[in-house]
């Protein structure tokens, strides 16, 4: 069976996210547009491309030259009533809720998703990709990348916030049909066009 290579690219960010905000559906900031354009020429060819439904994920995929299929299961964490607000605003009004969000994977903002929920979606996606040989590029969000890495490493979700996932960072996962391995995380753009096995 042909091996699976899964390249996860964290979408660029928006002005709201740059201000330490919980994202609403906004376009990419100018710096992210430039970074995505610079990354484009360094991506290895893929058999298939996927992306989350958020505008920033779709724009990132387009700037990378990918004809990506939009998938709802690759969406960012749903922040519920926190969407569009900054961390400072929420911490001022709900300090206990922010503390719970940072320490308890089962906590969800009102109307939103918990880290447990995101991890469940990421696990189902990895299970599906295990049976999809070839190279797949998925433009997704930091929360989904973290959840996927923890799944591959069989690490506890309490380690979620210990993984740094910068905008437009690249995570390389490989699967032999039985198990996933983390090949690389945070690859510099010049190292992306390497061998796929």
What pLDDT score was predicted for residue 16?
Answer: 75
Q: Is the dihedral of CA 14, 19, 22, 25 positive or negative?
A: negative
Q: Is the pLDDT of residue 97 over 80?
A: yes
Give the mean pLDDT of 45-60.
96
Q: Given pLDDT bands bounded at 50, 70 and 90, which one contains residue 45?
A: very high
Q: What is the DSSP letter of 64?
A: T
- Residue 155 is predicted with a pLDDT of 98
Residues recorded for the chain: 197
What confidence score (pLDDT) does residue 197 get?
34
Q: What is the mean pLDDT of residues 7-36?
A: 88
Burial string for 15-28 (b: 16+ CB within 10 Å, else e) reads ebbeeebbbeebeb
Please, which residues have CB within 8 angstroms of residue 20's CB and are 6 or more apart in sequence? 86, 87, 88
Pairing of strands 69-70, 134-140: unpaired
- All structural domains of the chain with their residue ranges: 4-191
How far is the C-alpha of 118 from the C-alpha of 85, rounded, in Å? 20
Answer whether 119's CB lies under 8 Å from 105's CB: yes
The reported pLDDT for the residue numbered 187 is: 65
Is 96's pLDDT higher than 90?
Answer: yes
The predicted structure's pLDDT at residue 1: 55
**How much is the pLDDT for 113?**
97
- Cα–Cα–Cα angle for 26, 126, 23, nearest 5°? 15
Q: In the chain, how long is the greatest CA-to-CA distance?
A: 54
What DSSP line would sit under 129-152, residue for residue?
A: HHT--EEEEEEE-HHHHHHHHHHH
CA distances from 85 to 31, 82, 89, 108, 132 (A): 21, 6, 7, 15, 38
How far apart, in whole angstroms, are the C-alpha atoms of residue 138 and residue 145? Answer: 10
Confidence band (pLDDT; 50, 70, 90) for 132? confident
Least-confidence region, from 17-21, 59-63, 111-115: 17-21
Q: What is the pTM of this model?
A: 0.92
Which pLDDT score is estimated for 182? 97
- Which of these ranges, 58-72, 96-110, 130-144, 175-189, has the smallest mean pLDDT? 175-189
Q: Residue 167 — very low, low, confident or very high, per pLDDT cuts 50/70/90?
A: very high
State the average pLDDT over residues 77-103. 94
Dist CA 169 CA 25 (whole Å)? 20
Architecture of domain 4-191 in this structure: 3-Layer(aba) Sandwich (3.40)
Give the pLDDT band (50/70/90) at residue 131.
confident
């Amino acid at each position: 069976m042909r091996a699976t290579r899964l390249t996860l690219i964290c979408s660029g960010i928006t002005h709201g996210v740059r201000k330490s905000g919980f994202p609403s559906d906004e376009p990419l900031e100018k710096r992210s547009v430039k970074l995505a354009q610079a990354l484009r020429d360094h991506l290895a060819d893929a058999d298939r491309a996927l992306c989350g439904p958020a505008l920033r994920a779709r724009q990132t995929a387009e700037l990378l030259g990918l004809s990506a299929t939009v998938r709802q299961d690759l969406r960012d964490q749903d922040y519920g009533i926190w969407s569009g607000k900054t961390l400072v605003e929420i911490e001022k009004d709900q300090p206990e809720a922010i503390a719970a969000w940072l320490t308890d994977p089962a906590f969800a903002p009102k109307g939103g998703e918990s880290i447990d929920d995101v991890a469940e979606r990421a696990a189902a996606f990895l299970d599906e990709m295990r049976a999809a040989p070839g190279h797949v590029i998925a433009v997704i969000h930091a929360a989904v990348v973290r959840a996927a890495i923890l799944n591959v490493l069989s690490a506890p979700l309490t380690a979620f916030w210990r993984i740094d996932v910068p905008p437009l960072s690249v995570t390389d996962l490989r699967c032999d049909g039985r198990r996933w391995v983390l090949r690389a995380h945070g690859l510099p753009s010049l190292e992306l066009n390497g061998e796929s096995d």
